[in-house]
Structure 1
Amino acid sequence: MPDTELVRRVVETTGLSPSEAARVVDDVIAWYAEPVEDFVRRRHAHHQTYGRRNEEIFDLIAAELADRNVAPPSLSARQLRRMIYG
């Protein structure tokens, strides 16, 4: 069960039921708990699907990481490449 105070706040501000609010809170927490490596791999695959080249993809992923609520440290293109290809 997520933080009860946070769930109560979501219930009060959205009109969701407590069980719905708890599910939303769990989903958001899971989204931001995704390990950096998993995020990088997922976003790389997404951008490749749309025909982007690695040089552009690495710049996009670096910018996306910087915009996350809990942003990890800045990663170079080399570090991003190593996460994807080992």
Structure 2
Amino acid sequence: MSPDPQLVEHLVATTSLTPGEARRVVEDVLAFHAESVEAYVLRRHAHLKTYGAKNPEIFQRIAAELAERVVAAPVLSERQLRRIVYG
């Protein structure tokens, strides 16, 4: 998906970004928000596990984070989160 040219122009006009940098920033933001719920859960679980968090706190934290995303994910139970992680 190509970034909206008006948004790129706005960023160039209101920041010190070049057109190429502004385009990359918009592409990065779009890619970040395009991540599927499953991919997000897997990525966050692995990240939190790396830093020693235990599953009960991980699943509670991920559920809270999902509820606050720009386009909120559906409410998932701990069991649903476990199924995403462990199949």
Normalising by structure 1, report the TM-score.
Answer: 0.94
Kindly report which structure 2 residues correspond to 1:3-82, keeping only aligned pairs within 5 A, or say none: 3-82=4-83
Stretches of 4+ aligned residues off by more than 2 angstroms: none
- Equivalent residue pairs, number: 86
Identity of aligned residues (%): 62
Structure 1 residues not aligned, in runs of 5+: none
Shift of 1:28: 0.5
Aligned to 2:3, what secondary structure does the other structure show?
coil
Supply the distance in 2 between the matched residues of 1:77 and 1:46 (Cα, whole angstroms): 17
Shift of 1:51: 1.1
Supply the distance in 2 between the matched residues of 1:25 and 1:69 (Cα, whole angstroms): 15
Normalising by structure 2, report the TM-score.
Answer: 0.93
